[in-house]
Each structure stands twice: as C-alpha cells, then as structure tokens.
Amino acid sequence: MAEVTSDIDWDALSADELAGLERKIAAKYMQGFPVGIVIWGFANTAIWLSLWPLVLLDIMPLWMAFPIALVNVSAAYLPSHDAQHSIIAREGHKLRWLNELLGHVSLIPFAAPFRYLRYTHFEHHAHANDPALDPDYDVHAESRGQFFRKALARMQPAAAQDEQAYAAALKRIGKEHLLLEAVLIRSFYLLVLFFTAWSGYALEAALLWWIPLLVSQVYIRYYLSWKPHHPGKRTGRYEDTSAFRSVLGNIGSSGMQYHIVHHLYPRIPLMRTPAAYRELRPILQRQGCDLGEL
C-alpha cells in the first residue's frame, strides 16, 4: 500500500488536517477482503476438531496434540473478533453470511457464543475504562502479579464478576436473550467433557479442551484486556488504550501490541494493524497517545 504520509511537514498541520489525515490513512487499511483471518478462523477450528479423532484413534500421541490444542484454543478468539466488528462483510453485503459463520465457527474451541461476545465487546468499545459501563473493567489490576491472582480467583465457582458485568451490559442494550445462548454453549461444553470422561477419555478431554481453555482464557484476558488498557484509569478516544512492546512479539501477543489502532478504527483487520500503526504513528504521537516503546 502506498503511504499517504510521505513528505509531510507534521508540525505545519492544523488539528483538523491531522484528524483528516488520520481518517484517510485508516480508510486505506479498511479496504479489501481480509482473506488471512478467514482462513485462520476456519483452519484453526478444523485442526482442533481433527485432533480428537487423531488422538482417540491413536494416530497422534496425546503429548503431541496437547500443545497444538493449546495454540488452537488460544487462537480461536481473534477471527471471531474481526467478525464481531463485521470486518469480513457488513450487514447487507453478499458475504455477510461468511462474516457471521466465521464468528460462530472460530469460537467453537473457545466454547463461547459469538453474538454474546459481539454485543458485550461493543459496550467495551463504547465505554472503555468506565468502571460502571465497561463490561471488561473488572480485568484491571495494579500489577501483572495481581492480574494473575485475580484471573485465578475469577475461575472459582463463587466468582461471577464476568457474568454479572456482561449480563448488565446486555440488559442495558436490550439483548439479554443472548444470555441463554451463553448458557447453552457452556452447557454443551460441560456435557462433552462429562461424556468423553466417562467414556474413558478423560485425560484426552483434559488436554485437548479443558486445560487449553483455562490457559487461553487467562492469555486472552491478559493480552486483549489487561495489557493494552493498563492501568485503565483514563477514558477518551486517544487515552483509553495504548501501544506496547511484548516480550512474546506481535504474533505471541495475538497482535495486541497495536491495540490502540483497533480502538481508534475497529474496522481495520487485525492483520493490517501493524502497517496502519506505523503510518499513523506520527499522528498518534501528536494526539498524546501512550505508545510505550513501540
């Protein structure tokens, strides 16, 4: 893609010109069909599903399947995240069905409902870091250590912060019927675990789904919620999230180093956020964004 910003005297631009240029750059990265994320979503679920017969029929050893399942389950959320923002196809587009199908199918390993996550995620975007309205606000913690302690506490039966915040968000926007979808999908997940366990494949179910899901839930919360919004005290278009450099790199952090681009322009596909960030960087600096060391 040709750079919009070559040979620009940044300091000579007015606030309006800067904002206009920002929108022009962002619009460039929203164009085109994001084929990579579509292949990722379907292939990831297909690979994870294929692990079950491969392991149960003794074609693949469980020790080999476990790390693959761990990657699959951890990578399951992001294609759905692009679909939540209708990046593959907007409502009314002839490929809208593909957008929605990707959203649902990619989440199968993550045992989560697409529409429930979509509408609560919209509320997160609309109210990021607002203690009363951001359904993801409870993920905030003062330090990395506290985040992990809190993550463990949130897995306990008595912890209902997630469900309560998400249910409240859905009720606010008149979508509380989606709670039933969440309960049904979670029930299906539990019944599959129980059935496979009592069929003599408990260890297989634990290493292909239960443990990968526990690990990936913490991983996703860390990189998609806690890290890019930490310390979570500021609200506002250029202040509610930041760029950061991850020790795991961009792929290892699920592309979240550039989360600031996503919050500013949610319709830029995940895979184009690094390039968009590099071109937007001079503008973001002048808008006072926290760009970390990136």
Partner 1 sequence: MMLEKFIGLLFAPLTFALGFLAPLFMQLLDAVGWSTPMASNAIIAFAVTGIWGLLAQLRGSWVWLK
Q: Which is nearer to partner 1, 206 or 294 (CB)?
A: 206
Q: How far is the CB of 197 from partner 1 (least distance, A)?
A: 4
Q: Is the peptide bond before 231 cis (omega within 30 degrees of 0)?
A: yes
Q: Which is nearer to partner 1, 18 or 211 (CB)?
A: 211
Q: How far is the CB of 200 from partner 1 (least distance, A)?
A: 7
Judged by the rule CB under 8 A, the positions of this chain that interact with partner 1 are 149, 152-153, 155-159, 183, 186-187, 190-191, 193-194, 197-198, 200, 202-203, 205-206, 210
Q: Which is nearer to partner 1, 209 or 265 (CB)?
A: 209
Residue 67, CA distances (Å) to 12, 51, 74, 79 in order: 52, 11, 11, 20
Q: Which is nearer to partner 1, 33 or 188 (CB)?
A: 188
Contact between residue 262 and residue 268 where contact means Cβ atoms under 8 Å apart:
yes
Per DSSP, the chain holds a count of helices (H) and strands (E) of 15, 0
Q: How far is the CB of 247 from partner 1 (least distance, A)?
A: 26
Q: How far is the CB of 62 from partner 1 (least distance, A)?
A: 10
Which pair of tokens denotes residue 89?
């196809």
What single DSSP character describes residue 280? H
Residue 170: CA atoms inside 13 Å, Cβ hemisphere, count?
A: 20
Q: How far is the CB of 137 from partner 1 (least distance, A)?
A: 19
Q: For tokens 């964004």, name the residue.
A: 289
How far apart (Å, rounded) are the C-alpha atoms in residues 203 and 186? 20
Q: Which is nearer to partner 1, 43 or 218 (CB)?
A: 218
How far apart (Å, rounded) are the C-alpha atoms in residues 270 and 224? 12
